[in-house]
Amino acid sequence: MYLASDNTGPIHPQIMEALTEANQGYALPYGNDPFNHRAVTAIRELFEAPQAEVFFVPTGTSGNALALSTLCQPYQSVLCTPVAHIHEDECGAPEFYGVGKTYLVGEGDLMDPDALAVLLRELAEGGVHTAQPGAVSITSVTERGQVYEIDRIQSLATIAHSAGLPLHLDGARFANAAAALECTPAEMSWQAGVDVVTFGGTKSGCMGVEAVIFFNSDRARGFAPRRKRAGHLFSKNRFLAAQMLGYVKNDLWRTLGAAANARGQYLAEAMCMDMRIQWPYAPRANMLFPKLPRSVLQNLATSGVAFNNWGNRDIGSPDEMLLTRFVCDWSIPYQDLDQFLAVLRTA
Amino acid sequence: MYLASDNTGPIHPQIMEALTEANQGYALPYGNDPFNHRAVTAIRELFEAPQAEVFFVPTGTSGNALALSTLCQPYQSVLCTPVAHIHEDECGAPEFYGVGKTYLVGEGDLMDPDALAVLLRELAEGGVHTAQPGAVSITSVTERGQVYEIDRIQSLATIAHSAGLPLHLDGARFANAAAALECTPAEMSWQAGVDVVTFGGTKSGCMGVEAVIFFNSDRARGFAPRRKRAGHLFSKNRFLAAQMLGYVKNDLWRTLGAAANARGQYLAEAMCMDMRIQWPYAPRANMLFPKLPRSVLQNLATSGVAFNNWGNRDIGSPDEMLLTRFVCDWSIPYQDLDQFLAVLRTA
Amino acid sequence: MYLASDNTGPIHPQIMEALTEANQGYALPYGNDPFNHRAVTAIRELFEAPQAEVFFVPTGTSGNALALSTLCQPYQSVLCTPVAHIHEDECGAPEFYGVGKTYLVGEGDLMDPDALAVLLRELAEGGVHTAQPGAVSITSVTERGQVYEIDRIQSLATIAHSAGLPLHLDGARFANAAAALECTPAEMSWQAGVDVVTFGGTKSGCMGVEAVIFFNSDRARGFAPRRKRAGHLFSKNRFLAAQMLGYVKNDLWRTLGAAANARGQYLAEAMCMDMRIQWPYAPRANMLFPKLPRSVLQNLATSGVAFNNWGNRDIGSPDEMLLTRFVCDWSIPYQDLDQFLAVLRTA
Amino acid sequence: MYLASDNTGPIHPQIMEALTEANQGYALPYGNDPFNHRAVTAIRELFEAPQAEVFFVPTGTSGNALALSTLCQPYQSVLCTPVAHIHEDECGAPEFYGVGKTYLVGEGDLMDPDALAVLLRELAEGGVHTAQPGAVSITSVTERGQVYEIDRIQSLATIAHSAGLPLHLDGARFANAAAALECTPAEMSWQAGVDVVTFGGTKSGCMGVEAVIFFNSDRARGFAPRRKRAGHLFSKNRFLAAQMLGYVKNDLWRTLGAAANARGQYLAEAMCMDMRIQWPYAPRANMLFPKLPRSVLQNLATSGVAFNNWGNRDIGSPDEMLLTRFVCDWSIPYQDLDQFLAVLRTA
């Protein structure tokens, strides 16, 4: 049972079909293919943003780092939360791509507007001695499974814009967040003040593709050569574009986001009955972050369930509660979930 | 007719099948999948190098830049020819990835061992003021369609090794070079003194995959985190590995390299009769670099042939000879080539 | 009255004399001068480290960043406290010079060994997804005026070394720390497990010079070309070396460190009687970090005292306590301090 | 006898006096001192450029690299000659500071306007695959002792500006060039189309200071934080500014430039009689680049003359002509030159 991440599942058939369709005959390389044009148009329509600049890249890390380095000067910082993927899980990709530093806003996974305002004031005092902020970056679904309400995004955007900073949304799980909010992509992004979105496909049924969307095309200046020199401009770019076409067609993206969320909610509801479990984060989408006793996790691990936890599972008090992550992708069968729940009950 | 590059053609069916096969069920992410293990093994067997470290990346630029930055310190230079892809066509990728500089060896596309030795002596005089060399990089098939004879590779390797430098081979068209030489991968690489190869699949029937092969695993230290922070570690890595499995299976790579070369030779033989054409570079594989009069190129371009040339095709004397590039991929039909030749005769 | 920093005072006469002496006649550039040789020898003797590699640079930021980037791979992180100069006050210099990231250990200005151990365990779990640590960096005198006891340095070094990491000491105020501890340079550095020291002169009577000292010469590999390409190899290096010679001669460094500390203690003792003042950090050397009411700071500022505080001095409740910094350099006259105390009493 | 470089000589007394004068009392750090303000004003007056942005840095390498990285995006290239100091003698400093690459214009040390125009056309064809140019950089006095005539600077500036590129002048020996041309600083810089100058003091009697001058203040955006994070913002900046004040006062800079040139011409005229010597570069300022037989150079070297040559002095035919460099600084006594000439005659 694969509950470790939503990148363990298969490619959705509709996306495989799109790849097969794109494989007919010849096409110009490096984005000069008709599929790229069609996919850009499809993204603009989906986001109701006809002027947006849209680029396709193969991974979330490349999308985030290219977007942020395009937004910032190399002597500037990006502000994010302490658990942000760009800070904790990308091996320093933003700094490598040219962001000066990451500075952390408050605690927790949902950025607090007040904490952002305070940090902005403190950094401004630093003058040339501190890497002045160049952008604010948030993630939804967050790295702890929560979803930003639209009004919180608006508050953060207002503060960022007041300081002259763009707001970036790491949308590796944009589909899950939008499905949870039951909102349109536009409502969750530019209408709430987001300037740049990394719109993820990889974790939601694609082989490997993300769309980086700049709602103000001026901000996109330099993205194209940055993508090239990073080795992320695919010569056979048509196969990135085709995935995105398949993902957007007939709102497959939303269907898959909702399917994954439904499985997450199914698990969460069943596990809520289990009094051994603590819930520091309320599950909103397809990821659960409960705390469980070490002894339970040890038993789970030997039952063949793939999952993540923080802290040493093997050594320590059996009663210690460890933060744990269970992720459902769109494809995982409900009988697998039932089987997991059965294992958990006896673990 | 697509003669501009060998990245315009379709994915070979055997590789599409490998992708489909890899899409059954679940697999751990980030290279912890069985396909990765099998593909690494397959590459080791193909290169007769059981100790080699093998990594998969999606593009040639990422493969070259990751390999070279792993080989060099950031204050060192890479030595290459003036037409090297890493110098002219990657938008500064090696420098971005952490190579200090590129310094150019001699003139032309085939590196001259004597010129290499001279440059090494000159750079050594520079001491700390000059970016001391960290690696030597060559390309075969070269960026002008020529192929390094094995003894030339050996000479270059000997000189590089005497200076304590590893030799890198950009093998974006390794298949075409090996097919032209009728040699084994081992003969063209580590047996000739090459330390690291970027073994290309993208230009030869794959969707987008290159294997970076370090024959001495010590030299590979740091490649894995560098790949991650560059955004080139695919969560669904199994689809990179699967392409390479399909490419290596039953020596498909060699079949496709030979097929592309045969088309290139077919074109070359037919064009040799055309007295308007000059041949500054003898065609050895699937790329031709003849010089043609501007007037002919103007006519060709209006006939729907996609190709590249250097210099302004539109403005200047009709008789001026311009360097031109025609590339055959493995799939281009011979009737297309015949049609091109007919167009060329009347152009 | 200059209490904002210890970089506002004059150059000590003995150092001016050393500069004048070095200005006789001609000398080879780039460190090939006799003054460099003599200064390296003097530093080795001072630190009782005859094998140490010693380099002179003009600023603390360059010394720290060059040292840390030499110790780390570019995909690795440096671990420091949240108030570390390298994190807060160098505009991202470590990252610019090639350190992957900074990760923060615990809270406060004195690094807690337990917190270091915990973070090391957490980062190790991140594998390739997290910028693995490459070095640990501490500062003494700290950025809040405290001094590391030698046994704490030993504890940190033991933990760092167990993880294979070197320990770096930012010694911008090494003289003040050693004077406070009444220890030898060796006791405070390599005998306690420190691997690399930035030994500061600029804040203590020099014009602008720091010595970067690697106690294990293997770790210094690459420092020289890094210094050159950063523009910190002075052609007239003899004037860096001469400053350091003047600074070390007759233990002037210790005399100046003690003189600055004595002034700091004089201020602290007088201010301890002032019940309006809170002391979150016990003053140990030449820097005081008391909290004072905003109204007092406003009055001080209009009295011509130069000092720093955190938080908006101009707007807010007059009773709010703001963290403040008063720094004494070696030269500030005691009558200036008395005058300041008089102003403070009536502020 | 020191003829290896103009960085071996002493600091001029007027500059030592300026340092002593600046050492009275206290001053705010990081450029907030009155000396900085006065030095900026003095440079603006000298260059007749009241709007110019002026920054002081300690070395030529830092001045060039900071200026060029401020002018360019990180995915762009700087165009220079093959012997440019920024390409050959700064260990990759421009690339380290954030320039994408250097591309070389033509051959020789004086940039040819036609060659620049040709390269610009070629690079434009490369599109996103090539590091597009971000700036053009020339050096006067060149690295082979020649001086750009003003009309050549104008031609280069016109071509650069037509392509939207700024023109940078590496003026490490600006004083010598202006003295040779008998022109004003304005005539040799912004009036001829130069956008940014690195105005050198270090090689002409200062301890270590260069002024980076942006004639259009818009182009200077980001220089200040870049200087900080590179460790080139001096806390005791007053001692950089004071040097520049001493250098500019009573046109000392021009006096010293002319004094060095006069010595260079004295040597050149005497050596012109020596039929063993070839002159590939006509000496214009204080540097001579003759070719001499290896045997002569071997004898010179054993006579205690410090100089540079290219090629192995120790091994090879005694008659082979080697390119050699003799540099006069402003201070070298004429009797030393006479002594050198006597040694040379018998060498």
Which pLDDT score is estimated for D93? 98
Q: What residue in A sits closest to B63 (Cα-Cα)?
A: A231
Tens digits of residue pLDDT in B31-76: 999 999 999 999 999 999 999 999 999 999 999 999 999 999 999 9
Higher pLDDT, D312 or A174: A174
Nearest to D73 among A131, A132, A222 (CB): A222
**Size of the C and D interface in Cβ pairs below 8 Å:** 145
Residue extents of the structural domains in chain A? 13-251, 253-346
Domain A13-251 has CATH 3.40.50.300: no
Q: Which residues of A161-184 are buried (b: 16+ CB within 10 A; e: fewer)?
A: eebebbbbbbbbbbbbbbbbbebe
Within chain B, residue ranges assigned H as helices are 13-22, 34-46, 60-71, 85-88, 93-97, 113-126, 150-162, 174-181, 185-188, 223-229, 238-248, 252-271, 294-302, 334-346
Nearest to D75 among A75, A132, A222 (CB): A222
Confidence of residue C118 (pLDDT cuts 50, 70, 90): very high
- The rounded distance, in Å, linking the Cα atoms of A136 and A37 is 30
Tens digits of residue pLDDT in B141-150: 999 999 999 9
Q: What residue in C sits closest to B221 (Cα-Cα)?
A: C73
Quick one: fold of D13-252? Aspartate Aminotransferase; domain 2 (3.40.640)
Tell me if D22 sits within 8 A of D241, measured CB to CB: yes
- Please give the backbone phi and psi of residue C278, each rounded to the nearest 5 degrees, phi first: -105, 155
Residue A270 has pLDDT above 90, yes or no: yes
B310–D91 C-beta distance less than 8 A: no
E strands within A32-127?
53-57, 77-80, 101-104
- The rounded distance, in Å, linking the Cα atoms of D150 and D135 is 19
C5–D23 C-beta distance less than 8 A: no
Residue A144 has pLDDT above 90, yes or no: yes
Question: In chain D, which residues have pLDDT < 70?
Answer: none
D93–C230 C-beta distance less than 8 A: yes
Tens digits of residue pLDDT in D65-113: 999 999 999 999 999 999 999 999 999 999 999 999 999 999 999 999 9
Which pLDDT score is estimated for A347? 84
Which of C75, C97, C129 to mutate to test binding with chain B, by most B CBs within 10 Å of its CB?
Answer: C75
Mean pLDDT of C122-127: 94
Looking at CA atoms only, how far is residue C183 from chain D in angstroms?
Answer: 28
| Distances from the Cα of B52 to the Cα of B36, B167, B177, B197, B320, angstroms | 14, 15, 21, 11, 49
- The rounded distance, in Å, linking the Cα atoms of A211 and A40 is 9
Confidence of residue C347 (pLDDT cuts 50, 70, 90): confident
CATH superfamily name and code, C254-346: Aspartate Aminotransferase, domain 1 (3.90.1150.10)
Structure tokens of C290? 């008391």
* Secondary structure (DSSP) of B89-145: SSTTHHHHHT--EEEE-SSSSSPPHHHHHHHHHHHHHHGGGS--EEEEEEESS-TTS
Structure tokens of B19? 């992708």
Q: What is the mean pLDDT of chain A?
A: 97
3-class SS of residue A176 = helix
D139 closest CA partner among D98, D165, D108, D95: D108
Tens digits of residue pLDDT in C220-243: 999 999 999 999 999 999 999 999
Q: What share of chain A is helix, strand, coil (3-state, %, to 5)?
A: 45, 15, 40
Tell me if A233 sits within 8 A of A30, measured CB to CB: yes
Mean pLDDT of C141-161: 98
Q: What is the mean pLDDT of chain C?
A: 97
Instruction: Name all chains with 3 or more CB-CB pairs below 8 Å to chain B.
Output: A, C, D
Over the Cα atoms of chain D, what is R_g?
A: 20
Structure tokens of C291? 């909290």
Instruction: Name all chains with 3 or more CB-CB pairs below 8 Å to chain D.
Output: A, B, C
A102–C91 C-beta distance less than 8 A: no
Amino acid A32 reads: N
Task: Say what percent of chain B tops pLDDT 70.
Answer: 100
Confidence of residue B106 (pLDDT cuts 50, 70, 90): very high
Q: What residue in C sits closest to D63 (Cα-Cα)?
A: C231
Residues from chain C that touch D27, judged by Cβ atoms under 8 A, are 8
3-class SS of residue B285 = coil
**Size of the B and D interface in Cβ pairs below 8 Å:** 55
D228–A129 C-beta distance less than 8 A: yes
Distance of CA C158 to the CA centre of its chain: 22
Instruction: Name all chains with 3 or more CB-CB pairs below 8 Å to chain A.
Output: B, C, D
Which pLDDT score is estimated for C249? 98
Residue B100 has pLDDT above 90, yes or no: yes
Which pLDDT score is estimated for C341? 96
Tens digits of residue pLDDT in B295-344: 999 999 999 899 999 988 889 999 999 999 999 999 999 999 999 999 99
Find the helix or strand (DSSP H, E) in which A63 lies: helix A60-71
A225–D131 C-beta distance less than 8 A: yes
Write the DSSP symbol of residue D191. Answer: G
> According to CATH, what is the number of the domain A253-346?
3.90.1150.10
Structure tokens of A223? 């993205």
Q: Are strands C101-104 and B321-327 parallel, antiparallel or unpaired?
A: unpaired
Nearest to B75 among D88, D91, D126 (CB): D91
A8–B62 C-beta distance less than 8 A: no
B90–A228 C-beta distance less than 8 A: yes
CATH topology agreement for domains B13-252 and B253-346: no
D92–C207 C-beta distance less than 8 A: no
Mean pLDDT of B256-269: 98
Structure tokens of A229? 């020199």
Residues from chain D that touch C232, judged by Cβ atoms under 8 A, are 59, 62, 231
A5–B26 C-beta distance less than 8 A: no
Mean pLDDT of A148-158: 98
Looking at CA atoms only, how far is residue C222 from chain A in angstroms?
Answer: 20
Which pLDDT score is estimated for D264? 98
Residue B197 has pLDDT above 90, yes or no: yes
Q: Are strands D133-139 and C308-309 parallel, antiparallel or unpaired?
A: unpaired
Confidence of residue B174 (pLDDT cuts 50, 70, 90): very high
Model pTM greater than 0.90? yes
Tell me if C321 sits within 8 A of C215, measured CB to CB: no
Nearest to C2 among D26, D58, D96 (CB): D26
Instruction: Of A52-56, A178-182, A296-300, give the lowest mean pLDDT range.
Output: A296-300
